[in-house]
């Protein structure tokens, strides 16, 4: 099991969304694009939630329901060849809110076309806001 690491600094608060299941058509093989398959997404966002907790105000944090809908729309949207590409698009979306200082996304492809018995295939991408250049967080 992969454990998300804590970023440097004072941001120890995090929002975790695990097991978001969405049908998508990502993959290199034409059958994957035609038939589609289920993808599972885990996301962890680091941010300071002090103001949100103090004011009991959802607008001062990241609304995880809205985040789930945004991530699901990307997975269900236009196909890409690699889950690496998909994971990068998802982590960029997680970093859109300026209050998020770090995000980690894992994309699981449990029905990957591998002719062997396996439990899971997953790609994890982690990014700190400080690693991004100006304008690097894009809308997909």
Mind telling me the catalytic residues? 109
How many CA atoms are closer than 13 Å to the CA of 124, on its beta-carbon side? 13
Q: Indicate the Cα dihedral angle 116, 76, 67, 136, nearest 10°.
A: 90
Q: Cβ atoms within 10 A of the Cβ of 42, count? A: 19
Determine the Cα–Cα distance for residues 129 and 100; give it in Å rounded to an integer.
7
3-class secondary structure, 33? helix
């Amino acid at each position: 099991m992969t454990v998300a690491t804590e970023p440097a600094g004072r941001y120890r608060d995090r929002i975790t969304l695990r097991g978001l299941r969405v049908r998508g058509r990502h993959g290199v093989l034409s059958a994957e694009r035609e038939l589609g398959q289920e993808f599972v997404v885990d996301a962890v966002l680091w941010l300071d939630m002090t103001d949100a907790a103090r004011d009991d105000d959802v607008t001062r944090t990241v609304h995880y329901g809205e985040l789930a809908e945004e991530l699901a729309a990307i997975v269900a949207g236009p196909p890409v060849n690699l889950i690496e590409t998909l994971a990068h698009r998802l982590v960029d979306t997680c970093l859109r809110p300026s209050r998020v200082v770090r995000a980690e996304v894992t994309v699981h492809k449990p029905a990957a076309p591998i002719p062997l018995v396996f439990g899971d295939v997953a790609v994890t991408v982690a990014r700190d806001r400080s690693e991004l250049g100006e304008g690097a967080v894009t809308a997909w």
